[in-house]
Structure 1
């Protein structure tokens, strides 16, 4: 049964470019319907040079909240009146709540990844855990920051380059959390092998392994590096099983891909806006089965 739009219908939206492919409107509108909330979620194609005008317009008409996707996550930061600790450290925002014209920005990408880890592999308590992370793009940085904030004991971050901005984030995490965050260059294979051997969780946040151009590739090619108590994840979900995940599965590791990360980052946004849980099992069945994807 559809819910009619009324004079009281609240508006939420997604800003970015491109956005036509996004599944976020279906997820959020189905969730509003599930809870009987008089609200709608739309997607608007907004480029960086249009963001200031878009924000002014959204504030003027009283939009309750909105998401940001590429290429606007970093550009949104100066428009926020308040930032969550994660957004402040990351220097990026993907979720905004508008409270009487006061915009509070946060990032739910890292939350989405960690909730997907709980769902797919039962990995739900980071305290005392050691994590190895490959890469540090936008979603990767968010996962890194959230894991440190949520109590991980140690994170070994391996990246191709020592970008100044990335090193700044590592330094901030060292001083603002109890997590021991260590930066390494990906080229240091000895350090990578040692870290993987001691880790509880390994996550690939790079595009290595993604279809079609990088499919069949992996930053780790020796299954002997894995141990049976290691959980291995890949933020890629096309293909559903990358070479990294296949090698880890063959070595007896629990594995999961990045498909549900999108679902759970959306669920985290929904809860920030409404205080309610997104009906994730319903959304999975509707939009996250292989046939739907």
Structure 2
């Protein structure tokens, strides 16, 4: 399908954007469904974010993705922001509703769907997560409301306390945060249902590292690692070795894209194809 005067344009704004797999993933999905859409990645300097957002309206684009370092700055130029994204303090997706720009954050949605597609229900579960940085925020705001208990750890005490205080202020639930301590982590994991690594530990090239020792894992513990390169981290290998459910961060990457795709097109996304495109882009298949 060639580009015509009717083609709907969706852009990615960030800096840099050359490494992004979003064009490959979304354009393949548009083609698969026969949609007259095109997705283009555009490098936008920090001082031109407002102009870029105005361009979405001016050129009547269907929408956009927003990546680092503009996820926070872009919010002020939108007409409406999803309440969860408002709490997170960052957006990654924009929908143009006839000139009314709506912002949301699909990162946490992607994480939730990664687990739900594996048959994992968050409701009434005790969730333990290590990491209180950027990736932890959308996960926290999407997971904590359904959890029986939500326990956070981070090596930086101020980071984990700040996020914990925010969550307790804005959400209902049993939410606690602690500076990382091996004995405390071990104790909290004894009756946990879900464990999440929201740190870079285990990421290439340090593939032999794991955020927790294997002996803290159990067969009935769901283990979710946000790291997606390698596809199977040491943490996930350890989990699989004891027959625990192990979920890779690559699916969070895929499903955040799926959520954006479905918002823009109002069509069910071709998930297997989008996953294949991401894995190809990462050089993992």
Partner of residue 87, structure 1: 85
2:154 corresponds in structure 1 to 159
Answer yes or no: is the 8 Å Cα contact 1:202–1:232 preserved in 2: yes
- The aligned residue for residue 173 of structure 2 is 179
Give the alignment of 1:185-204 within 5 angstroms.
185-186=179-180, 188-204=181-197
The answer to whether residue 217 in structure 2 is matched with residue 217 in structure 1 is no
Aligned-pair CA distance for 1:249: 2.4
The reply on whether 1:260 has 2:251 as its aligned counterpart is yes
Cα shift readout 1:102-124 (whole Å, capped 9, x = no counterpart): 221111001111212233x321x
Deviation string for 1:201-245 (max 9, x for gaps)?
Answer: 111111111111x33122212x22222110112111222222222
Q: Does 1:240 align with 2:231?
A: yes
Write the distance in 2 (CA, Å) between the matches of 1:78 and 1:163.
27
CA contact (8 A) 1:224 1:251 kept: no
CA distance in 2, matches of 1:225, 1:242: 16
Residue 9 (structure 1) shift:
1.1
Per the normalisation by structure 2, the TM-score is 0.92
**Structure 1: segments with no counterpart, 5+ residues:** none
Q: CA RMSD in A?
A: 1.9
CA contact 1:129–1:154 (8 Å) conserved in 2: yes
Which residue of the other structure, out of 9, 12, 26, is the alignment partner of 1:28? 26
State the TM-score, normalizing by the size of structure 1.
0.90
The answer to whether structure 1 residue 283 and structure 2 residue 279 are counterparts is: no
- The CA distance in 2 between the partners of 1:156 and 1:190, in whole Å, is 14
Q: What's the secondary structure of 1:247's corresponding residue?
A: helix
Which of 135, 149, 155 is the aligned partner of 2:131? 135
Aligned counterparts of 2:190 and 2:165: Cα–Cα separation in 1: 25
What 5-or-longer segments of structure 2 have no aligned partner?
none
Aligned counterpart, 1:7: 5
Q: Give the whole-Å Cα distance in 2 for the aligned partners of 1:163 and 1:271.
A: 37
Matched positions, count: 284
State the secondary structure of the residue aligned to 1:173: helix
Give secondary structure in 1 for the equivalent of 2:256.
helix
Take 1:131 and 1:158, find their aligned partners in 2: how far apart are those partners?
11
- Is the alpha carbon distance of 1:247 and 1:287 closer, same or farther for their aligned partners in structure 2, counting shifts above 3 Å? closer
Matches within 5 A, 1:48-87: 48-87=46-85
